[in-house]
């Protein structure tokens, strides 16, 4: 028997959980459907930490969204009583003309964001763990830090349900349909109808939106944890989140040591091996450890200790590596958010607000139009 809700959200990961929370907070009758557990480790939001930065090297247009994202992260912390965001400062390193340094500086100057350029002496005094070439630039952004992804998703889902949302885990959506009367969703457990649908399927978005033929490439990504030779140099409270920019546009990046997850986390940000989210190899492969080990050896020798853990995660890369947020071109009552290309988590708070506004009012006052589908059609 079909059930009636105002809005159905497919996917209760980072974006979907936030959307359920924002919708429920407006009083909408929302149903969130998740194929795995809430939260889980099969998608894009696993690994205990996600970096957040404001001086956005990827494009300055993201900065107004980030300002709102930070406000909403702080509101979520105060509404839930949970600590979710750690502002440790962010250290960006690389040759002065690498994309990470030039892009971060451009965004900071354009939007008047606080930052400091550290000279060699300041870098050596404040962050002893880094050994980088003499001619590299070092930019420190005080607003940067990290979020706790699994705890964020749990918190959004918990508050959403306390505000009246219905969320079902372990219930896969196998088909959806939309017409001028509303939307219908068929799952492995039942059939539901609603006025509107929001699709936040992460790495499964290409499958859920097959008729659109979006170019979304899912890649297998690796994160590693090691026990550093000198743990004191990497302590939360004195060590920042960090990124090292390379000539090919990729980054090595990492986090301070955290109280509840042993070791030092480090990873390489670049699209990994293309894969299918239902068939991805989740066990370690030869070369996984080397994807970050070389950077430790060269730039953070005091961190280059024994391996503790390796985990896989998924990027869903759009053609230009920018997000896709829009109405479905054939179905105005369907909203889609995908292609977060390995840098979306920090925006989950504001993207949930945008998706909720689009679903409820068909518009959002936030400046997200640069992320619409049109740009991909024109090229
Ligand atoms: C290794 C790694 C490091 C990263 N580091 C950062 C970082 O430092 N900072 C940052 O900002 N971002 C980072 N990201 C990117 C960020 O984590 C992602 O952009 C973000 O998590 C994407 O959220 P999502 O909601 O699109 O996907 P997910 O959180 O994966 O949610 C999608 C959900 O949809 C569900 N779903 C799909 N199909 C169906 C269906 N048919 N029925 C029911 N449910 C379905 C899935 O099971 C999943 O739970 C990183 C990503 C990875 C992999």
Q: Domain with 26 in it: what CATH number? A: 3.50.50.60
113 belongs to a structural domain: yes
Whether 285 and 310 map to the same domain: the answer is yes
Residue among 33, 197, 202, 278 to mutate when testing ligand 1 (max atoms within 8 A of CB): 202
Smallest CA separation from ligand 1 atom 24, residue: 202
- Per the prediction, the chain carries an average pLDDT of 97
Q: Tell me the per-residue pLDDT of 323-363, one tens digit each, with 9 for 90 and over.
A: 999 999 999 999 999 999 999 999 999 999 999 999 999 99
Whether 278 and 250 map to the same domain: the answer is yes
Whether 131 and 154 map to the same domain: the answer is no
Assess whether pLDDT exceeds 60 at residue 133: yes
Ligand 1 center to 268 CA (angstroms): 17
- Taking the C-alpha atoms of residue 184 and residue 186, their distance in angstroms, rounded to an integer, is 7
Whether 183 and 155 map to the same domain: the answer is yes
Assess whether pLDDT exceeds 60 at residue 2: no
Q: What is the pTM of this model?
A: 0.98
pLDDT of residue 84: 98
Give the residues across from 45 on adjacent strands: none
Assess whether pLDDT exceeds 80 at residue 3: no
Give the residues across from 264 on adjacent strands: 226
- Taking the C-alpha atoms of residue 327 and residue 154, their distance in angstroms, rounded to an integer, is 27
Q: Which protein residues are within 6 Å of ligand 1, measured from CB? A: 10-16, 33-36, 43-45, 47, 50-51, 172-173, 200-202, 204, 208, 221, 223, 267, 313-315, 340, 342-346
82 belongs to a structural domain: no
Whether 244 and 277 map to the same domain: the answer is yes
Q: Tell me the per-residue pLDDT of 174-212, one tens digit each, with 9 for 90 and over.
A: 999 999 999 999 999 999 999 999 999 999 999 999 999
Tokens for 67? 């300002």
Rounded percentage of the chain residues whose pLDDT exceeds 70? 99
Smallest CA separation from ligand 1 atom 49, residue: 13
Smallest CA separation from ligand 1 atom 31, residue: 13
Ligand 1 center to 13 CA (angstroms): 6
Single residue among 272, 291, 317 that ends a domain in this structure: 317
pLDDT of residue 377: 75
Whether 173 and 199 map to the same domain: the answer is yes
pLDDT of residue 4: 80
78 belongs to a structural domain: no
Single residue among 278, 295, 317 that ends a domain in this structure: 317
Q: Report whether 9 contacts 21 (CB < 8 A).
A: no
14 belongs to a structural domain: yes
Q: Report whether 189 contacts 35 (CB < 8 A).
A: no
CB count in 10 Å sphere of residue 278:
10
Q: Is 298 exposed, middle or buried (0-12, 13-18, 19+ CB in 10 A)?
A: middle
Whether 190 and 334 map to the same domain: the answer is yes
66 belongs to a structural domain: no
| Domain coverage including residue 98 | 88-144+217-317
Q: Tell me the per-residue pLDDT of 274-324, one tens digit each, with 9 for 90 and over.
A: 999 999 999 999 999 999 999 999 999 999 999 999 999 999 999 999 999
Whether 275 and 202 map to the same domain: the answer is no
Peptide bond into 67 cis (omega under 30): no
Whether 197 and 210 map to the same domain: the answer is yes
Q: Which atom of ligand 1 is nearest to the CA of 315?
A: 53
Tokens 């250290």: give the residue: 91
Smallest CA separation from ligand 1 atom 16, residue: 345
Q: Report whether 208 contacts 172 (CB < 8 A).
A: no
Ligand 1 center to 130 CA (angstroms): 30
- We report the CATH number of the domain holding residue 96 as 3.30.9.10
Ligand 1 center to 133 CA (angstroms): 35
pLDDT of residue 259: 85
How many structural domains does the chain have? 2
Ligand 1 center to 200 CA (angstroms): 9
Q: Report whether 255 contacts 244 (CB < 8 A).
A: no
234 belongs to a structural domain: yes
Whether 310 and 224 map to the same domain: the answer is yes
195 belongs to a structural domain: yes
pLDDT of residue 32: 98
Query: 348-361 and 149-162 are packed helices; what angle lies between their axes, rounded to 10 degrees?
Result: 30
What are the C-alpha distances in Å from 44 to residues 1, 38, 58, 67, 183? 33, 13, 19, 23, 26
Assess whether pLDDT exceeds 60 at residue 379: no
pLDDT (mean) for 26-41: 98
Smallest CA separation from ligand 1 atom 51, residue: 342
Cα radius of gyration rounded to whole Å, the chain: 21
Single residue among 294, 317, 340 that ends a domain in this structure: 317
Whether 232 and 283 map to the same domain: the answer is yes
Whether 161 and 175 map to the same domain: the answer is yes
Ligand 1 center to 202 CA (angstroms): 5
CB count in 10 Å sphere of residue 323:
25
269 belongs to a structural domain: yes
């Amino acid at each position: 028997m079909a059930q009636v809700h105002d809005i159905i959200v497919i996917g209760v990961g980072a974006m979907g959980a936030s959307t359920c929370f924002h919708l429920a907070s407006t009083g909408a009758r929302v149903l969130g459907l998740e194929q795995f557990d809430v939260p889980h480790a099969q998608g894009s939001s696993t690994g205990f930490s996600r970096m957040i930065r404001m001086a956005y090297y990827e494009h300055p247009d993201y900065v107004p969204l980030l300002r709102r994202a930070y406000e909403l992260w702080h509101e979520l912390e105060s509404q839930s009583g949970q600590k979710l965001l750690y502002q440790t400062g962010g250290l960006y390193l690389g040759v002065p003309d690498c994309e990470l340094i030039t892009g971060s500086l451009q965004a900071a100057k354009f939007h008047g964001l606080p930052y400091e350029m550290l000279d060699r002496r300041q870098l050596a005094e404040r962050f002893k763990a880094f050994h980088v070439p003499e001619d590299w630039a070092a930019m420190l952004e005080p607003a940067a830090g990290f979020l706790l992804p699994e705890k964020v998703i749990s918190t959004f889902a918990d508050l959403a349900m306390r505000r009246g949302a219905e969320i079902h885990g372990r219930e896969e959506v196998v088909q959806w349909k939309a017409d001028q009367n509303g939307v219908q969703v068929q799952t492995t457990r039942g059939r539901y109808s609603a006025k509107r649908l929001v699709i936040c399927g992460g790495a499964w978005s290409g499958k859920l939106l097959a008729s659109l033929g979006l170019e979304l490439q899912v890649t297998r990504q690796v994160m590693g944890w090691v026990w550093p030779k000198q743990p004191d140099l990497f302590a939360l409270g004195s060590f920042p989140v960090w990124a090292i920019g390379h000539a090919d546009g990729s980054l090595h990046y990492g986090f301070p040591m955290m109280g509840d997850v042993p070791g030092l986390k480090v990873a390489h940000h670049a699209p990994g091996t293309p894969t299918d989210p239902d068939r991805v190899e989740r066990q370690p492969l030869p070369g996984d450890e080397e994807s970050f080990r070389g950077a430790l050896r060269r730039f953070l020798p005091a961190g280059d200790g024994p391996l503790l853990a390796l985990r896989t995660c998924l990027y869903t890369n759009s053609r230009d590596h920018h997000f896709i947020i829009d109405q479905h071109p054939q179905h105005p009552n369907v909203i889609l958010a995908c292609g977060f290309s390995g840098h979306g988590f920090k925006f989950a708070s504001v993207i949930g607000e945008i998706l909720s506004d689009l679903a409820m009012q068909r518009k959002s006052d936030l400046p997200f139009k640069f992320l619409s589908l049109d740009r991909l059609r024109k090229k």
